[in-house]
Chains A and B, each alone.
Chain A
Amino acid sequence: MLGHIKILYHQGKQFIPDVTTAKVPGIFRGRPVLSQAKVDVSRLVDLCPLHAITADPVRLDLGKCSFCGECARQFPEKITFTSDYKIAANERESLIIKEGDNGPVKINPLKVRKEIHHLFQKSLKLREVSAGGDNSCEWELNAANNVQFDMGRFGIEFVASPRHADGIVITGPITENMAEPLQICYDAVPDPKIIVLVGTDAISGGIFADSPAIDRRFFKNYFIDLYIPGNPTHPLTFINGVLDLISARKS
């Protein structure tokens, strides 16, 4: 007992007081900024292993980017990654950063379904489905629950059963072998429900986009409420993305 009290005393307060303004340590590759500098665009486009960069004008798609940073290393005058971790959006196009853009990635309140704010603002229970995820995004989602990020304080929680959930969080490119379990899980969540995609693999298939072993037909049928990029997604990116979604539309 005394030992426990000592540990509690030594640990002190671990939580991050404000997750919306916290700084990430070290180098962090968050929202990129593309300058108007003239560079060899065809070489830049060719450089990206995930084909996330396109030309005329130069654009970088965060839904495809693996944040390896190779483009910024080779073309530092053209691309820089800022430490802005708020890169979640509810429209796929908002994840595409064009040259000259320097504003934050935002949730479009008009595209948020009406019931989301009303029903989920104070309590959002999510069921996570890893469908070919490599256990890195899963790791970070678990970390979002730890005593430092402490997502539970906002009423956002992961639950064990889809029956208890208000929506599903999908990680991974959706393997052929997980397509059916994912569908069953989604069907088991009571309406109204949301879909959140976490990580580059889930949003675009990432490096697995053209693998014959994946099956992304699930996405043809449903409206995606939130895209949260990252490889893996940082816990702060996830928490801020979800918070922005549930508080975006007040009327």
Chain B
Amino acid sequence: MRYTTVQNNQTIPVSQIPITSYDTFFELNAGFVKDSAHRHCVNYFGYPVDGNITLICCIADDQSHEIYISSCQVEPTDKLPSLVSEFFCFERFEREIHENFGIKFTGHPWLKPVRYSHDRKDPLQTMANYPFYSILSEELHEVGVGPIHAGIIEPGHFRFICNGEQILHLEIQLGYQHRGIESLLLHKNKLSERVQIAESIAGDNVVGHTIAFASVWESLCGYRTPRELDFSRTVALEIERIAVHTGDLSAACTDIAYQLGSAVFGRLRTPIINFFQEWCGNRLAKGLIRPGNNRFPFTPALAHQLLDAFDTFEPDFNEMHKELFKMPSALSRFERTGTLSYENALSIGSVGMIARTSGLNRDIRSSHPHSLYSELSHDPIIKHHGDVYSRVQIRKQEVPQSIQYLRELMTRVPDYDQDSEPLGSPKPDSFAVSLVEGWRGEICHCAITDAKGELRFYKVKDPSFHNWMALALAVRNNEISDFPICNKSFNLSYCGHDL
């Protein structure tokens, strides 16, 4: 066997993952993803074992609903052929492995630092001496934007190479937000600390990341997640999707200077996040999700409140988007702006909502369902043009879809069982992987425990890790003045990428 097969949220002994030679590992994983749009790399990372580095690659298969785990052992001084020569989606993963451990991948286009983590192999590489791509020409000029941007958003640096008003090339330098989350998850040994770190991975995607953390932890402990916990998590994830999508519609209106849309969608988000406050005391659902612990049971009274909130939300939401999408001045800014082709989306391994707007069906809710998604028989909404219009449309359509799922779920609120089994402690020498479809897309958490059952390694991948490249490609040949609307339509996470 060259690899092992697991389901989403399954724990296996580390020894069950076959360790092969790098050549076999290379062939296997290149073969998995090449010419197979239904398979993609969900995580690829290295971790130190006795001075050597173990590489683990996780490939998700959307048709068989399985995840293929393979591994190999290499030395930090090794020079290995780059998987990028076979398929581009490994590009950022290899850069990360190079940055952390110094392994060289020959044939990789450019092994630049990904995030300047505090424990990087080469501390001489710093934010200040990032090697930007540049073109020598009298006709071109460069525009630098950031790290601090005009609005109230996170930091990141954008370097444009422009021909007049037209963008030829965009390079995105990230890492400003690096807080050392992955190493902190190992060093803080209380579960209550760890779960708060997971909540802080991306504060706009609290539910998604905390569910991934809780699922990994519960899986490692062999805990059978009770139905009411799965129910709460599914509900929370869909509410988060509705809230952020509505906010994003407001932001899209802001960026095309459509004041009414901006104001109305902006205020429509409030009753949705206020529902989180009614439920758990925090507008962004911090504190709601805990492994093996139902802190805020979802009651029938809450179900009534939620349905009432939707009853008043929906007419206003529908009225506003109907008006927005019939305005020629809005459509002319959305249509054919910032196009990400299907081929590009596929080659960079794009995931989630961004993949779905370019005609690529990637949705964990249907391909690797967790929580109660198998009961909802989720049918992903797919758009085909890959432009700003598609990305605004998909939000407009996913909001009513989520509301419909929630209305369905509200008819069967489970009873709260106070005598659920205790959580227990993680199994020793185990590996667990969890995939969650947050509003941005697929979140992947992987954990490995040592012989005592302590966390030995923890790896977090936010969907933005794949999708930042999508933004860089989509803005090519667009006017630089359209960059804000392109960026907003992607709405990627800086801290989720930088961790």
Residues of A participating in the B interface, judged by any CB pair closer than 8 Å = 3-4, 6-8, 10-11, 14, 24-29, 47, 49-50, 66-70, 73, 81, 128-143, 146-148, 158, 160-161, 172-173, 175-178, 180-181, 185, 201, 206-208, 211-214, 231-232, 234
Does B152 lie at the interface of the complex (its beta carbon under 8 Å from any beta carbon of A)? yes
Mark contacts of B277-299 with chain A using CB atoms, 8 A cut-off: 1 yes-contact digit, 0 otherwise: 11111111011000000010000
- Quote the shortest CB–CB distance from A243 to chain B (angstroms): 19
Q: Complex Cα distance A201/B281, Å?
A: 19
B-chain residues with CB within 8 Å of residue A128 when the two chains form the complex: 152
Interface 1/0s, chain B 94-132, versus A by CB < 8 A? Answer: 000000000000000000000011110000000110000
In the complex, the answer to whether B190 meets A181 with C-beta atoms within 8 Å is: no
Query: A40 to nearest B CB, angstroms?
Result: 17
Q: For residue A176, which residues in chain B have a CB less than 8 angstroms away from its CB?
A: 118, 178
Given contacts A4-B260, A10-B319, A11-B267, contact A130 B155 (CB under 8 A): yes
A137: chain B residues within 8 A (beta carbon): 203
1/0 per residue, CB under 8 A from A, across B196-221: the answer is: 11001111101000000000000000
Q: Which residue of A lies closest to B119 (CB)?
A: A212
Chain A residues near B197 (CB-CB < 8 A): 207
Partner of A175, one of B179, B183, B184: B179
Q: Interface with A: B27-35, B143-151, B447-455, which one?
A: B143-151
Question: Known contacts A26-B281, A29-B282, A213-B178; is A133 also within 8 Å of B154 by CB?
Answer: yes
A134 touches B153 (CB 8 A): no
Please indicate the chain B residues that have their CB under 8 angstroms from the CB of A142 in the complex. Answer: 151-152
* B117 contacts across to A, CB distance below 8 A: 213
Closest chain A residue, CB of each to CB of B296 = A27
Cβ-closest 6 pairs across A and B: A136-B203, A26-B278, A134-B203, A213-B180, A160-B150, A213-B118
Residues of B within 8 A of A208 (CB): 179-180, 184, 200
Q: Find A130's partner among B154, B190, B192 (CB 8 Å cutoff).
A: B154
Q: Are B152 and A7 in contact (CB under 8 A)?
A: no
The count of A-to-B residue pairs whose CB atoms sit within 8 angstroms is 191
CA distance A160 to B150 in the complex (A): 4
A24, A161, A181: the one contacting B176 at CB < 8 Å is A181
Would you call B203 and A3 a contact (CB within 8 A)? Answer: no
Whether A207 pairs with B196 at a CB distance below 8 angstroms is yes
Q: How far is the CA of A68 from the CA of B287 in the complex (A)?
A: 5
A selection of 15 A-B contacts at a CB cut-off of 8 Å is: A4-B323, A11-B264, A67-B286, A68-B287, A81-B281, A131-B155, A133-B154, A133-B203, A146-B266, A147-B263, A160-B151, A211-B118, A211-B180, A211-B184, A234-B283
A129–B319 Cα gap in the complex (Å)? 36
Q: With A7-B323, A66-B196, A135-B495 in contact, is A146–B270 under 8 Å at CB?
A: yes
Cβ contacts under 8 Å, A25 to chain B: 274, 277-278
Given contacts A6-B319, A25-B277, A178-B177, 18 further A-B contacts (CB under 8 A): A10-B316, A10-B319, A24-B277, A28-B277, A67-B282, A67-B286, A130-B177, A134-B201, A134-B203, A135-B202, A135-B494, A139-B247, A177-B116, A185-B148, A201-B200, A211-B179, A213-B117, A213-B179
Asked if B204 and A173 sit within 8 Å, CB to CB, the answer is: no
Report the minimal beta-carbon distance from B7 to chain A, rounded to whole angstroms: 30
Min C-beta distance of A50 to chain B, whole Å: 7
Report Cα–Cα, A109/B320, bound state, in Å: 46
Decide if B177 touches A132 in the complex (CB within 8 Å). Answer: yes
CA distance A130 to B316 in the complex (A): 33
A67, B284: Cα distance in complex, Å: 12
For B116, B152, B200, B286, the residue with the greatest tally of chain A CB atoms inside 10 Å of its CB is B152
Q: Which residues of B contact A234 (CB under 8 A)?
A: 283
State whether A50 and B267 are in contact (beta carbons under 8 Å apart), knowing that A133-B154, A136-B203 are contacts in the complex.
Answer: no
Task: State whether A136 touches B204 (Cβ < 8 A).
Answer: yes
Contact between B295 and A214, CB atoms less than 8 A apart: no
A178 pairs with B118, CB closer than 8 A: no
How far is it, in angstroms, between the C-alpha of A22 and the C-alpha of B154 when the chains are bound? 30
Residues of A contacting B179 in the complex (Cβ-Cβ under 8 angstroms): 132, 173, 175, 208, 211, 213-214
- B369 interfacial by beta-carbon distance below 8 Å: no
Residues of B within 8 Å of A67, CB to CB, are: 281-282, 286-287
- Report the separation of the CA atoms of residues A148 and B263 in the bound assembly, to the nearest whole angstrom: 9
Query: Cβ of A139 and Cβ of B178 under 8 Å apart?
Result: no
Q: Is B175 an interface residue (CB 8 A)?
A: yes
Q: Are B154 and A138 in contact (CB under 8 A)?
A: yes
Q: How far is the CA of A146 from the CA of B250 in the complex (A)?
A: 10
| Residue picked from A129, A135, A140, A232, most chain B C-beta under 10 Å | A135
List the A residue with the shortest CB-CB distance to B322. A3
Q: Which residue of A lies closest to B250 (CB)?
A: A146
Residues of chain A contacted by B206 (CB below 8 angstroms): 136
Q: Are B147 and A178 in contact (CB under 8 A)?
A: yes
A139 touches B284 (CB 8 A): yes
* Cβ 8 A contact of B281, one of A4, A29, A129, A207: A29
- Once A134-B495, A176-B178, A207-B196 are accepted as A-B contacts, the answer to whether A181 and B204 lie under 8 Å apart by CB is no
Nearest-neighbor residue (CB-CB) of A181 within chain B: B147
